[in-house]
Structure formats: structure tokens, C-alpha cells
Amino acid sequence: MSYSAESLPNNLAKIVQRFKRRSNPKQKYEQLLWYAKKLPAMAESDKTPDNKVHGCVSQVFITANLEDGKVLYQGDSDAQLVKGLVAFLIEGLNGLTPEEIIQVTPDFIADTGLQVSLTPSRANGFYNIFKMMQKKAMGFHLGTSASS
């Protein structure tokens, strides 16, 4: 079973709803910047080539650890708006099992309405960050360590 927009994991669904309620692109940006401020700092030692998200104009790093069968992500970006996208995804996907993360389809990105507000390269970066997080979850699912 894969998740559709109606059956997203609870935290992700809440965040998508939050963005859906904001019709003004400026409000969506402010929401992203708010998420960026909430994102915990990431250790510089985790900013390695293995954790770098490719296909992003900004520098973006994502780590994943498996604790009690749940994936816990950390991330960072040198661009505040992108950092907000990272925080959005981390808050939406943290604490899920690798299987649950793998089943999420990227349709929810369109449901946020953010692609209208984001430049094409940022919208593509958002998708690449999501795919990297899924790839790390897939590593845990397959029993290979995808974390640093």
C-alpha cells in the first residue's frame, strides 16, 4: 500500500494541511522560514559527501539513524528557504518506520501548493531531498546502513 494525499502519515498530513490553508505565496515562505528556525543544528562532521543531497543548488545535507525501528533524520542547508523545506520533511517523516517512509509518494509536494511559490530549481531540490530521505530509509529496510 502506498500513501496517497488522503492517507499520509499523521505529521506529514498536518504540515501539508498547514500549507494548503495559506493561499498567499508570501505566507507559505514565512511558514518555511519558521520551520527553518525550528530545525536543530546539525554537526559539521555530518556534512559529508555521503550525506549531501545532489541536484540542489544550495548545499543540503541529510543524515538518518534507526532507533527502535524508527527513522530519525537530521538535516541542514546553507539557504534559509531550503532549510525550511528540509525541516518540513524531517518533521513530517521523523519517527516513522523505513517501510512507512518508502510508501509515501511525492504527490504531497503538489498538495502543499509550494511548487507555485518555489523556483523550478528549488521545487526540484525539494523532491531530491525527499528522495534522499527515502533512499536512506530504503537502506534500513534492506538492512544496509545508509547513515553516517
Hey, what domains does the chain have and what are their CATH numbers?
5-140 (3.90.1010.10)
- What tens-digit pLDDT sequence spans the chain (148 residues)? 455 545 799 999 999 999 999 988 899 999 999 999 999 999 999 999 999 999 878 999 999 999 999 999 999 999 999 999 999 999 999 999 999 999 999 999 999 988 887 888 888 999 999 999 999 999 999 986 544 4
- 76: helix, strand or coil: strand
- 40: helix, strand or coil: coil
Residues 6+ apart with CB under 8 A from 27: none
Question: Which residue in 32, 56, 101, 118 is the catalytic one?
Answer: 56
Query: Under a CB-based contact definition with an 8 Å cutoff, are residues 29 and 81 in contact?
Result: yes
56 is catalytic: yes
φ, ψ for residue 88, nearest 5 deg: -55, -50
Q: Which of 15, 10, 43 is nearest to 109 (CA)?
A: 15
pTM of the entire structure?
0.90
Query: Under a CB-based contact definition with an 8 Å cutoff, are residues 123 and 49 in contact?
Result: no
SS3 labels along 9-61: CHHHHHHHHHHHCCCCHHHHHHHHHHHHHHCCCCCHHHCCHHHECCCCCCCEE
Q: Which of 112, 65, 59 is nearest to 90 (CA)?
A: 65
